[in-house]
Structure 1
Amino acid sequence: MGLIPRSRHPKGGGGGVSIRWLSWLCIASFCLGVFVVERLWGTPDTDKLDKEVSSVEKRQELDPGLVVHCEKKESSLQAGDFLIQVSQTHDVIMNLDKTISSLGMQLAAARAAKTGNEETYPMFTKPGIEQLEHQKVFYVMGIITALDNRKHRDSIRETWMPQGDELRRLEKEKGIVIRFVIGHSATPDGVLDRAIDAEDEQHKDFLRLNHVEGYDKLSSKTQMYFSAAVAKWDADFYVKVDDDVHVNPGMIGSTLAHHRSKLRVYIGCMKSGPVLSQKGVKYHEPEYWKFGEEGNKYFRHATGQLYAVSKNLATYISYNRNLLHRYANEDVSTGSWFIGLDVEYIDDQSLCCGTPVDCEFNTQAGNPCGASYDWSCSGICESVERMQEVHQRCGEGDGAIWNANL
């Protein structure tokens, strides 16, 4: 009853009682720490606890001053151990969260791969078309092309895209898949569709979609591409590129390799262009009113000539494609699908170099660009005629893709 008044009294000899009070306070703190740790990591060991308390009491009888010093030290050690264990537990929880997220995405990918009705099935299959597989690869590059863009495709085949056995070797040895992404006409088995069949038979470098071609349907086609690619290949990354862009696949691989450990990453040249409300102009946005007052800009998104998304994001698009809104512009649509998600944006300007002299300067400096095109044309101007020139001046070299550290 006299303990507290004596320890607080400014005068008189309350020192011994004060030390005893502090000792018991340390003991109480120690016991509380043991109790919390045991509750978090296991069942309390009562025998061990009794021995520790008994040991403290004996030391208190011998030298109360020593007990205070020791108990402070022991309390500090206990607190340090406790914080270390809390940190370790936090790491375990974070790793578990990543594992759960990864498993969820794998489940979504499996569901997408097994979806078999015509309304939602992403791939267009015919007798002789390669069957569904789910290969593990590094990245899939889909080159978005149109039915009548044969010359665009040939200009790419003659420059930066390996052909025949080299294309298959690239998949096997480096885990890099490159395909032209194509749908079908509004009248299947028409002249254009038969021409694509013949071209596919010759080169075997198409990913055929269950999609009706049309410029106003590029957002839908992009969704369908990601869905088909996720269903067919288990990749770390999925890349979308237009068929009038020069690409260095080895540099693309090196760029993506830096972000391989990230769960949700969106890589490209980020921009925020104006929302065009005037009818009849290129890139007109019919839903301009959703973006605020006249003169506003879009949210930040990757320019559509080339961008990459990690596996989890591609799977998210695949699994939710019937719910995701599609704007008039494909790159805006893709960017909108990630608004509100925990996604890391990577603004990489090496994926949007200008054609010579811009990309040529980088190549001469030993750091070739991942992708090159002209902003004024939203691709390489007169790409069919100029792709060979750009490749000669800005290409990484035929052996670069095989020597790339992926």
Structure 2
Amino acid sequence: MGSGCIMYNDNERVVQFEFEVSFLAGSLFTRHTWPYSNDFRFKTREPQMSLATPRDSDRKRKLVEENSRDIMTEVKKTHQAIQSLDKTISTLEMELEAARTSLNGVKLLPERVTVNKTSLQRAFVVIGINTAFSSKKRRDSIRETWMPTGSKLNKLAKEKGIIIKFVIGHSATPGGVLDRAIDIEEEKYRDFLRLNHVEGYHELSMKTRLYFSTAVSTWDAEFYVKVDDDVHVNLGMLATSLGRYRSSPKAYIGCMKSGPVLSQKGVRYHEPEYWKFGEEGNKYFRHATGQIYAISKDLAAYISVNSGILHRYANEDVSLGSWLIGLDVQHIDDRSMCCGTPPDCEWKAQAGNVCVASFDWSCSGICKSVERMKFVHNSCGEGDEAVWNVDL
């Protein structure tokens, strides 16, 4: 080789070749990914001249405002039409229910319930004593104490308007031994109200609903009372107490309570639908305890008219409370309707505060009522003549 020439060995040629290839690849990559090879400045759009004039803007604004007013007017008209339609539907539904129940002598009017007075017996109060097939001795203990029998029972109905009936349905085998026993008892005392209902402890809510519906369609009374067959009642005090609320067409009277909702299976008064009442450990809404309570005619008629859609809970007093809690009802907490047995009711009677009803909370009625009803009556009773002296 001549002087001035640079000699490369094989390794140096490889390195030189790789360098040249890398340089060329980099150049190509740069050209393809960066289109602005000569100018790195971003160009902005030239502002466009608007041809709109102030007059055009005013015209557009007015059109928008007019369209908005038109839309709001139509929305308002539609809303009013829907409200009017809702009222019409509600009125038609009420008239339909009234027509359905008119055959039973009850008509539901917007403010009050009126009864076909020509077909129903007038009364001041109907007292339904809840009883069962196995409770004949309980019924006898009541007949021997606070409930008149025979001609006196009829006289009480005619002169004072106080109707008293033992309330019972039929057995699972209609016409069987149990039903025939009630037929014999009814023939002797004439003091039963028979329901189209299969008896059973777990069907008390249904029985209560049927009792009010049947009573409303049988008697035109101002009040309807439900009482258990192991509770002592002073009829004169009951009539006097109810008389105070004759001007209250929507009265719900009893000892109001709010017990715990029992979610545990197997315990007494277990509520299968406990989850509807909120978190575990919650209490029921206020309602009258089930031993005895009274409702006015309008409320009994409401139950009768709406019986097909009234939900039933496990406990009948809770069921009744749930039927009424959403209505414009006067809840009256009358503690004289839940006195204890002697000495409680006895001391109150001696002090001049005779109780309407007495029972033992621990037994949800008078404990061993068959044996103790006469004792309670003698200790806390108002006297056999008291009810006849009540001015109704």
Whether 1:301 aligns to 2:287 is: yes
* CA offset digits 1:179-237 (Å, max 9, x no partner): 00000001001111000000000000000000000000000000000001000000000
CA distance in 2, matches of 1:234, 1:277: 40
Whether 1:211 aligns to 2:202 is: no
Corresponding residue number in structure 2 for 1:113: 104
Contact persistence 2:145–2:377 (CA under 8 A)? yes
Runs of 4+ in structure 1 over 6 Å off: none
Matches within 5 A, 1:157-236: 157-236=143-222
With over 3 angstroms needed to count, the CA separation of the structure-2 counterparts of 1:176 and 1:107, relative to structure 1, is: farther
> How much has 1:365 moved relative to structure 2?
1.9
> How much has 1:255 moved relative to structure 2?
0.3
Corresponding residue number in structure 1 for 2:265: 279
TM-score by length of 2: 0.71
* CA offset digits 1:11-62 (Å, max 9, x no partner): xxxxxxxxxxxxxxxxxxxxxxxxxxxxxxxxxxxxxxxxxxxxxxxxxxxx
CA distance in 1, matches of 2:376, 2:104: 38
Equivalent residue in structure 2 for 1:153, among 132, 139, 146: 139
* CA offset digits 1:235-260 (Å, max 9, x no partner): 00000000000000110000000000
* CA offset digits 1:66-107 (Å, max 9, x no partner): xxxxxxxxxxxxxxxxxxxxxxxxxxxxxxxxxxxxx98x95
Corresponding residue number in structure 2 for 1:316: 302
One-letter amino acid of the counterpart of residue 305, structure 2: Y
Whether 1:374 aligns to 2:365 is: no
One-letter amino acid of the counterpart of residue 384, structure 1: V
CA distance in 2, matches of 1:142, 1:323: 23
Contact persistence 1:145–1:180 (CA under 8 A)? yes
Whether 1:342 aligns to 2:321 is: no
TM-score by length of 1: 0.69
Structure 1 residues without counterparts, runs of 5 or longer: 1-102, 116-131
Residue aligned with 2:185, SS: helix
One-letter amino acid of the counterpart of residue 390, structure 2: A
Contact persistence 1:112–1:227 (CA under 8 A)? no
Equivalent residue in structure 2 for 1:140, among 126, 141, 146: 126
Whether 1:383 aligns to 2:369 is: yes
Residue aligned with 1:346, SS: strand
> How much has 1:364 moved relative to structure 2?
1.3
> How much has 1:263 moved relative to structure 2?
1.4
Residue aligned with 2:308, SS: coil
Whether 1:397 aligns to 2:390 is: no
Whether 1:252 aligns to 2:238 is: yes
With over 3 angstroms needed to count, the CA separation of the structure-2 counterparts of 1:108 and 1:309, relative to structure 1, is: farther
CA distance in 1, matches of 2:251, 2:100: 17
Contact persistence 2:145–2:373 (CA under 8 A)? yes
One-letter amino acid of the counterpart of residue 331, structure 1: D
RMSD value, Cα: 2.0
> How much has 1:361 moved relative to structure 2?
1.1
CA distance in 2, matches of 1:166, 1:362: 28
Contact persistence 1:272–1:298 (CA under 8 A)? yes
> How much has 1:111 moved relative to structure 2?
2.5
Residue aligned with 1:322, SS: helix
* CA offset digits 1:285-319 (Å, max 9, x no partner): 00000000000000000000000000000000011
CA distance in 1, matches of 2:100, 2:201: 28
> How much has 1:405 moved relative to structure 2?
2.3
CA distance in 2, matches of 1:108, 1:144: 30
Contact persistence 1:109–1:230 (CA under 8 A)? no
One-letter amino acid of the counterpart of residue 276, structure 1: L
> How much has 1:366 moved relative to structure 2?
2.3
Contact persistence 1:353–1:373 (CA under 8 A)? yes
Corresponding residue number in structure 2 for 1:266: 252
Q: Aligned residue pairs: how many?
A: 288
Structure 2 residues without counterparts, runs of 5 or longer: 1-93, 107-117
* Percentage of pairs with the same residue: 69
* CA offset digits 1:304-344 (Å, max 9, x no partner): 00000000000000110110000000000000001210000
Name the structure with the higher helix share.
1
CA distance in 2, matches of 1:133, 1:199: 27
